Amino acid sequence: MTEPSTDLPDVDYMARSAELEDRLAKLEAETHSRIVHAELKAEALRAGMVDLDGLKLLDLDKVELDASGTIKAAGQLMRDLRRSKPWLFGGENSSSPATAPATQPAKAKYATEMAEAEWRAAREELLRRH
């Protein structure tokens, strides 16, 4: 009886495992950094920061994420930055970028658009004023 062929490549599983663990650690660090930057940008916009390059002035070593992926005390971080570097901020901004619709003056109603009773009442009002 012949033994089955074991033509498996010669692999150093310990080295491969260490390499994969290093790659995983780098990916986790990169992901953490991206989440922190995204959260800081959102908080900076809410705080009214006019130039997001001002985020480079923050010490990111002090920034911690909670379990849900949001920055702990992000509002306090922006208030401290506003206090120390007020020129980076404009006016307060709401969390929504939407603006209120412009008000428009009431459109005058033409006589041709009115019912007869409505037209007579409007005519009487005009005659009383003049």
Could you read off the pLDDT of 23-74 as tens digits, one per residue? 999 999 898 888 888 888 888 888 888 888 888 888 777 777 888 878 888 8
Helices 74-84 & 13-47 angle (0-180, nearest 10): 60
Which token pair is 29? 């660090």
What is the pTM (predicted TM-score) of this model?
0.53
Which residue type is seen at 93? N
CB 44 within 8 A of CB 85: no
Q: What is the pLDDT of residue 1?
A: 54
Find how far residue 90's CA is from the centre of its chain. 17
Find how far residue 55's CA is from the centre of its chain. 14
Per-residue pLDDT tens over the stretch 107-116: 788 888 999 9
Which token pair is 49? 């920061």
| Contacts for 97 with CB less than 8 Å, ≥ 6 apart | 45
Find how far residue 13's CA is from the centre of its chain. 43
Alpha-carbon torsion angle 74, 78, 83, 88, nearest 10 = 170
